Chains A and B, each alone.
Chain A
Amino acid sequence: MEKTVLFAKKYSLVFAVFSSTSIYYLARYALSCRIYSLQFDNQALLLWDYVASIGLTPYKDTFFPYGILYYFKNSDIVFNIIYYLIPGLLFSIFFVVFNIATKNRAISLVAILTFLIFVELFTGHEVFVRYGTLAAYAAILGCILYVSTTLSIRRLLILGIISGIIFSLLIDIGVYSIFVFSIFYFLTTVLHKKNKKYTFLLRDLLLFFGGFLTGIIPLLIYLVSEKALWDFVSFFRTLSYIPSFAKTPFPPYSTTPDNVFVLGLLLLAIIHLSLNVFLSKKFTIINYLQLAMVVVIVLLEQKSIFRSLSWQLTFTGFLLFLFLFIELQQYLQKRVYQPILLSFLLLSIIVLFFGSGFIQLPEEKRVRGVFGESCIELNRKNLLEVNRHYGMVKSYLESMPNSNKKIFTFPSDPLFYILFNQIPPYYTNIYDASLEEAQDLLIKHLRQNSINFVILNTAVQATQDGVPDYIRGKKLLQHLLTHYTLEKKIANFIILKRLSNSDFFTKFTMDTIPAYAQSLLDIDLSNIPKSEGIYKAETLEGKKALQFSSAEELNKYLGKNKVSSKGMVLRLKFDIKEENRKNSLSLLDQNNTKTKISFNSCDDCIISISNIPLFYNEKVISKIESSNSPSEIMIYFPDDFSTIW
């Protein structure tokens, strides 16, 4: 009894933190319906809730880049409750960590309260559940490794199992947890220096993986029962390509308040820890926790460097700030009165909250007591009211005499699949289908399901990052414009009807949607011809080519000979290259329809003509005009031009 009372007293505050935060999150978010907007990201989130509610399997029936916890949280009550219990669990872990780091109860309470407020104001529960899990895992690891740098078999297996469970629920975080363990374990072993042999590390890693494989057993059982195991493995292969099309420059984001804060603290911590090492100072528990956060931030910054996470990582910077402050407090506690230290911490945090300029989260619209399919229905009704054009397109298509009302949307707008109660294709937008084999899968979907109607949003010409969809989704767009013809225009949507070997650039198209048609005739290839010239020129060397020293000479040849665009690769060489200058090329077909192709200045430029929308169908090139005089023009018809973009 006495032991129980002591236990209860010791952990009463931890339990208070867990219960109060869990009640808050459950009361506020659990079993409620989020109201989505029409933005690209929101439509994707709504679609994933929809496909989960109609019983589709993630990774097998639909592309879903997150874990099953996120997939089922809005359609399954159990997953929903688990999801909203996680923040409470994480806050409790951090509170225990603060208590371990500082024996000063007041400081640990201030730390956890300000951390709670920070997460609520600047991070949000969705991001916190994801990245907070990784930070908590690293913090636990820091505490365990401080006590003993060599882990027992039992501890290694348990840590591996936890990592496996995290992977089962949150795939990307599970992968990160493996890296956190490996890197942190190696670093602390090196720092400890007592164990000069590192061969045991391999054995320990294997034990960890053994635990990991045990932890993912529930996920494996689920995947096997859904016959989705191989699809899950293939999904991982697809995931590896995401950095390729998701990469955007980091420097413009590096100076945002969020990144300045995180990177500034990261640098400060690295300087502090490296000084500790080389001044031969013994690492305390707080240094282990700082090192844990450094490892987490460095790992997550690799993701941020590819596609800026900025505001999503600020809470890790705040944790690092708290750990650094706790160390300062421990240094000063015998020299400065505690109230002064406490007030200094509070004041610093208030200045940070008000003066930092961190992105504050917008209020989420939620309706309590609506869940699952009812939530989908509520969102469907709401979005139809927000933009009536969606309803107009739906009504028009439903009035069509054709019995097969299956639709396909391009480049995104997956909302239509919800409106039509249709099972969507594997990829629901061109951004996720940036990979050519993903577009092949969509083309196969169009054929196998005999999709008669395509809804194309002409207001969206570049789905993400300013990359035009005629570049990103070249293969899919080519299929759509050569197998479907313009049927009707409703606001910014055009409805295409299936028709084999159709030519998009008819008089009807030019009259009905002049702006959109013209956008497909004014093409900007940007850096592509330059890149192809640098890397692919050798594939054309030695191949048979028609050679001309100027555009005039080429035009004389085109006047006398019918030159087909099919399989044509154009290669232009320029003597004078001016950086930051655009070249342009105009091509006319047999109907005198002109397409203008702009591209960045290059010495050796390669353009595959069948990638130009006007020449999606085979046509005769009647004339060519160039803004800059190329010193040489070569035309190839290689048997295999699959390597050329």
Chain B
Amino acid sequence: MDKSIQKVLLLYQLFLLLVLLFLFFFNIQSAQLFIFLILVPILIYIFSEKGSKYFLMGFAGLLVTWLIILLYFRLFRNFFPIPRIGEEKIVGFAHYYGYPFYFDTVMFFIFILSPLILVVFTKFFIGRTEYGKNSAVRKKI
């Protein structure tokens, strides 16, 4: 048994217990915070794999990119055309308020495909650099 990992897990459980007591007494709900708290161990596990730390910086960069997209959300939305009222003469929310029909779909796929693209790019980039060509990481990747 690895005592250091057990110790960390126990301390984290104590922290979660304090969080629970806090919730119980103050009845504050914050989805983003608590969801993140319970996912921390899984996050650490995912990025503890050998070679994955090279992608960590890339993911941090991706997070910043998403935040920028969020800040300039309206600007990006205005790039998309407003819906056309077709032959069937349907006028729903999108037509009435001029909300681009496929904007959300495109943004969703950018959101879920960007990690995949990042991983491919990072692997390609590491393979191309001098460091990548010579390092043991290259062999691993």
Chain A residues packing against B (C-beta within 8 Å)? 241, 244-251, 256-258, 260-261, 263-268, 270-272, 274-275, 277-281, 298, 301-302, 305-306, 321, 324-325, 327-328, 331-332, 334-337, 340-341, 343-344, 347-352, 354-358, 434-437, 465-467, 471-472, 474-475, 526-528, 530-532, 534-535, 600, 643, 645
- State whether A241 touches B90 (Cβ < 8 A): yes
Interface 1/0 per residue, B1-44 and A, CB below 8 Å: 11001100110110011011001100001111111111101110
Can you give 16 A-B contacts (C-beta < 8 A)? A241-B88, A248-B93, A261-B35, A268-B39, A272-B46, A278-B120, A278-B141, A279-B52, A281-B49, A332-B9, A336-B1, A336-B9, A437-B88, A467-B91, A526-B97, A645-B89
- Is the CB–CB distance between B93 and A247 below 8 Å? yes
Using CB atoms, name the residue of chain B closest to A347.
Answer: B16
B41 surroundings in chain A (CB, below 8 A) = 328, 344
What is the CB-to-nearest-CB distance from A443 to chain B, in angstroms, rounded to a whole number? Answer: 14
Cβ-closest 5 pairs across A and B:
A257-B31, A245-B92, A355-B34, A527-B98, A357-B29
Inter-chain contacts of B131 with A (CB < 8 A): none
B68 at the interface (CB under 8 A from A): no
Q: Which residues of B contact A466 (CB under 8 A)?
A: 93, 96-97
Interface size class of B (residues with CB under 8 A): 35 or more
Question: Which residues of A are found within 8 Å of B87, using beta-carbon distances?
Answer: 643
Contact A528–B20 (Cβ < 8 Å): no
Complex contacts, A278 vs chain B, CB 8 Å: 119-120, 123, 141
Contact of B38 among A256, A275, A351, A532 (CB under 8 A): A351
CA A321 to CA B35, docked complex, whole Å: 10
From A245, A268, A356, contact of B46 by CB (8 A): A268
B51 within 8 A of A: yes
* B64 CB-CB contact with A under 8 Å: no
B5 CB contacts on chain A under 8 angstroms: 332, 335-336
Distance in Å: Cβ of B19 to nearest Cβ of chain A: 6
Q: Which residue of A lies closest to B16 (CB)?
A: A347
Contacts of B37 in A (CB 8 A): 351
Across the A-B interface, how many residue pairs have beta carbons closer than 8 Å? 216
On chain B, the residues within 8 Å of A321 by CB distance are 38-39
Contact partners of A351 in chain B: CB under 8 A: 16, 19-20, 23, 34, 37-38
- Residues of B in contact with A (beta carbons under 8 Å apart): 1-2, 5-6, 9-10, 12-13, 16-17, 19-20, 23-24, 29-39, 41-43, 45-46, 49-52, 55, 59, 73, 81-99, 101, 104-105, 108, 111-112, 115-116, 119-120, 123, 140-141
| Chain A interface, >50% SS class | helix
The reply to whether B104 and A532 form a contact with Cβ atoms under 8 Å apart is no
Nearest CB of A to B3, in Å:
9
Residues of B contacting A301 in the complex (Cβ-Cβ under 8 angstroms) = 108
Shortest A317–chain B CB gap in Å is: 9
Task: Report whether B89 and A436 are in contact in the complex, using a CB–CB cutoff of 8 Å.
Answer: yes
- Is B34's CB under 8 angstroms from A305's CB? no
Report the Cα distance A341→B6, complex, angstroms: 9
* Contact among B30, B43, B108 for A357, CB-based, below 8 A: B30
Instruction: Give the distance to chain A from B62, nearest Cβ to Cβ, in Å.
Output: 9
Q: Is the CB of B96 within 8 A of A305?
A: no
- New A-B pairs, 5, CB < 8 Å, besides A245-B93, A279-B140: A241-B88, A248-B93, A351-B38, A356-B34, A467-B96
B77 to chain A, nearest CB (A): 9
